[in-house]
Amino acid sequence: MQNYNWRSAFFASLLGTDLEQHIGYFSHIISQWESNQNNKESTKWQKQLQQLPKVENVSLTIDSHIRLNTKQPLASAELQKTRAVLKNFMPWRKGPFEFFSIDIDTEWRSDWKWDRVLPHINDLSNKKVLDVGCGSGYHLFRMHGCGAKQVIGIDPTTLFFHQFHCFKQYMCDLNIHFLPVGIEHLPNTHYFDTVFSMGVFYHRADPIKFLKELKQQMAPNAQLVLETLVIDGDENTVLMPKDRYAQMRNVWYIPSVEALVIWMQRAGFSDIQCVDIDVTSIDEQRATQWMQNHSLVDFLDPNNSSLTIEGYPAPKRAVLIAS
């Protein structure tokens, strides 16, 4: 990355906070991540990051898009080269982003999810926030835009870590950091005022363990924001797909809201409320120039869009808040 050491920036951001005591541990898990990396893969991304333009006086605008701006527009040859470099980071799934006037139209309109979540959650001003399974980090920027004083995202997918750094490397001073690890690798911090986990729960084979891991990151009186797939039904209704669900391989449990509430209670949460339910539309998740693989429309039964192609109920998502 261009003259930017994300590890040092992350450690510096922990100084003087209650996370400072964990710096040694974080350093250890980052070194482990580095040594587990396929070196060729990582070097490839590093080189691509360095191909992005060297630009001074960059500013950030946060609205539906996360936009990097420069005073001096890039010349058209440079824009063309930059677009080609960014395309090497495909598939771009979570966004949308704008990179010096290049519109990265991602597979997901993640801004729609944020619009569904934001009206129901505690004010993020001056808060310490964790986003578990942050993808490209799109929502990390939105959390920062809501005034959070410290934002940390974790996600073990190396591509998403590097997509995040396409943007973050220009905004070194922002107190937004991305750790490329799964939640199971975090120490119990009991530190964050709001812990988000959106779109991850159904990927976990042990959902109760996962809920407890989320709880272990929450300060007393903190808020959990959990967004996940649900199905219709009573407190005894849970879908475990035989194999794929909407073509996704690693989907384990899709409970009804009522069943999920019981699981959350058993994992130690209280004040649980379901604040939004939404059937995912083919306008929210679709193939674009920046994600050219199959998308939701291909994963639904062509004769009945209320079913997946495997015959399960089509994706429906709920947002639950709890303390």
Binding site for ligand SAM (CB under 6 A): 94, 110, 113, 132-135, 154-157, 160, 182-184, 198-200, 203
Shortest spacing between CB 274 and ligand SAM, in angstroms: 17
The residue (of 47 and 209) whose beta carbon lies closer to ligand SAM is: 209
Shortest spacing between CB 121 and ligand SAM, in angstroms: 14
Helix ranges, 173-268 (H): 207-215, 257-266
| CA 108 – CA 92 distance, rounded (Å) | 9
The residue (of 131 and 193) whose beta carbon lies closer to ligand SAM is: 131
Strand partners, 223: 194
Is the four-CA dihedral 95, 86, 40, 9 of positive or negative sign? negative
The position carrying tokens 């979540």 is: 117
Shortest spacing between CB 228 and ligand SAM, in angstroms: 9
Shortest spacing between CB 197 and ligand SAM, in angstroms: 7
Shortest spacing between CB 287 and ligand SAM, in angstroms: 16
The residue (of 198 and 222) whose beta carbon lies closer to ligand SAM is: 198
Instruction: Return the structure tokens found at 52.
Output: 């992005």
Question: Which region holds residue 260: left if phi is over 0, alpha if psi is between -120 and 50, else beta?
Answer: alpha
Shortest spacing between CB 181 and ligand SAM, in angstroms: 7
Give the Å distances, CA to CA, from 91 to 40, 139, 186, 264, 286: 19, 17, 27, 33, 12
Shortest spacing between CB 95 and ligand SAM, in angstroms: 9
Which residue type, as a one-letter code, is found at position 151? V
217 contacts: CB under 8 Å, gap ≥ 6: 130, 132, 183, 186, 188, 189, 190, 191, 192, 195
| CA 51 – CA 67 distance, rounded (Å) | 19
| CA 256 – CA 15 distance, rounded (Å) | 42
The residue (of 74 and 222) whose beta carbon lies closer to ligand SAM is: 222
The residue (of 100 and 108) whose beta carbon lies closer to ligand SAM is: 108
The residue (of 74 and 251) whose beta carbon lies closer to ligand SAM is: 251
The residue (of 183 and 267) whose beta carbon lies closer to ligand SAM is: 183
Contact 166, 52 (CB under 8 A): yes
